[in-house]
């Protein structure tokens, strides 16, 4: 019953929030962010703990300001999500700036295919829609949510932007590899995998694990491998691309580990510059109270 209530809450938000005046809608979500910080629930506590690892030098007041700004950014993402179906082509394009956009565009022109690995930061759907409008075939994956109606709603939301969305399962990696060989763009959010299959990395000087998938795909297909960091600006988003050079020496395991660590280093750089836009409200470090999944 809880899952159904949450699902209908999301579906209702997609309908109702699009009809509200824009300034009022964003103000409402910002007030909600401040209320959540005052309530200090488990998600806010986890966000604070994560940000303390990012900015250990911050005083208590600086950290509380950062947490408040981070929750406002997180709620801005959700308000964007619920209102995005109202955005036209000009709104999407005119609110995006990009550093080293040529890395992605040249990669697509080369026919090799491009894989982009990115963290939970800014509004990655906005970034995806921007490149779809350039005529690029973008493929991503989505975890199958419960209930099914909610999963289908998110699926429809991203498909309406022009994305091809695959359900995350054992077959998705094969399809992603095929799309890369066809010269398309694959974008995967990849800053967290605490399962035993996650690749060990050092992240802000502490042990963590991140998914192997993007690195495995790049090595398997020879696609151009980029990381991206998306941060909010006053009017929209900024995307920063960096290229990872595929290693030639070492075992497959060593190559994957190298690429995942390089990705983590790039994520770290972006997060350090824009910590308020990193929407990580879950555990990401293997710290003192971490428990291995059975």
Taking 80 as the threshold, does the pLDDT of residue 220 lie above it? yes
Taking 90 as the threshold, does the pLDDT of residue 238 lie above it? yes
Taking 60 as the threshold, does the pLDDT of residue 287 lie above it? yes
* Cis bond upstream, residue 60 (ω within 30): no
Q: Which pLDDT band holds residue 124 (cuts at 50, 70, 90)? A: very high
Q: Which pLDDT band holds residue 17 (cuts at 50, 70, 90)? A: confident
Identify the burial level of 139 via C-beta atoms within 10 angstroms of its C-beta, where 0-12 means exposed, 13-18 middle and 19 or more buried.
Answer: buried
Question: What confidence tens digit (pLDDT) does each residue in 129-184 have?
Answer: 999 999 999 999 988 766 777 778 788 889 999 999 998 886 889 999 999 999 99
Percent above pLDDT 70 for the chain: 98
Angle between helices 252-273 and 213-221 (to 10 degrees): 120
- The Cα 227–Cα 194 span in angstroms is 20
Query: How much is the pLDDT for 145?
Result: 65
Query: How much is the pLDDT for 81?
Result: 92
Query: How much is the pLDDT for 171?
Result: 83
Taking 70 as the threshold, does the pLDDT of residue 294 lie above it? no
- The Cα 77–Cα 138 span in angstroms is 20
Query: How much is the pLDDT for 253?
Result: 97
The average pLDDT across 247-275 equals: 97
The pairing of strands 164-167 and 199-203 is unpaired
Question: What confidence tens digit (pLDDT) does each residue in 81-97 have?
Answer: 999 999 999 999 999 99
What's the whole-number average pLDDT of the chain?
93
Query: How much is the pLDDT for 169?
Result: 80
Taking 60 as the threshold, does the pLDDT of residue 23 lie above it? yes
Contacts 24+ apart (CB under 8 A), 81-90: 81/123, 81/125, 81/157, 82/13, 82/14, 82/17, 82/18, 82/25, 83/17, 83/18, 83/22, 83/25, 84/125, 84/126, 84/129, 84/157, 84/161, 85/14, 85/18, 85/157, 85/160, 86/18, 87/129, 89/133
The average pLDDT across 101-106 equals: 98
Query: How much is the pLDDT for 9?
Result: 79
Encoded tokens for 286? 């293997």
Q: Which pLDDT band holds residue 13 (cuts at 50, 70, 90)? A: confident
Angle between helices 124-132 and 148-159 (to 10 degrees): 50
Q: Which residue has the tokens 């291995």?
A: 292
For the CA atoms of the chain, what is the radius of gyration?
Answer: 19
């Amino acid at each position: 019953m809880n899952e159904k209530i949450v699902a209908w809450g999301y579906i209702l938000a997609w309908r109702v929030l699009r009809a509200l005046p824009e300034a009022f809608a964003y103000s409402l979500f910002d007030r909600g962010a401040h209320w959540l910080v005052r309530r200090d629930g488990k998600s806010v506590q986890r966000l604070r703990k994560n940000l303390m690892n990012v900015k250990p030098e911050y005083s208590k007041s600086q950290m509380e300001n950062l947490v408040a700004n981070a929750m406002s950014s997180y709620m801005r993402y959700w308000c964007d999500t619920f209102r995005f179906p109202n955005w036209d082509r000009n709104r999407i394009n005119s609110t995006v700036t990009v550093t080293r956009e040529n890395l992605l565009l040249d990669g697509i022109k080369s026919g090799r295919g491009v894989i982009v690995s990115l963290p939970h930061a800014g509004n990655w759907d906005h970034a995806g829609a921007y490149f779809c409008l350039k005529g690029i075939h973008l493929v991503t994956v989505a975890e199958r949510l419960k209930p099914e109606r909610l999963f289908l709603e998110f699926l429809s939301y991203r498909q309406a932007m022009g994305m091809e969305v695959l359900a995350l399962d054992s077959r998705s990696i094969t399809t992603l590899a095929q799309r890369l060989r066809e010269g398309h763009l694959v974008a995967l959010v990849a800053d967290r995998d605490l399962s035993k299959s996650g690749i060990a990395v050092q992240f802000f000087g502490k042990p963590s694990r991140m998914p192997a998938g993007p690195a495995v795909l790049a090595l398997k297909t020879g696609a151009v491998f980029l990381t991206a960091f998306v941060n909010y600006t006053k009017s929209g988003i900024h995307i920063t691309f960096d290229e990872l050079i595929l290693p030639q020496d070492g075992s497959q395991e060593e190559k994957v580990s190298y690429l995942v660590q390089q990705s983590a280093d790039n994520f770290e750089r972006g997060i350090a510059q824009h910590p308020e836009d990193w929407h990580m409200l879950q555990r990401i470090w293997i710290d003192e109270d971490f428990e291995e999944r059975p």
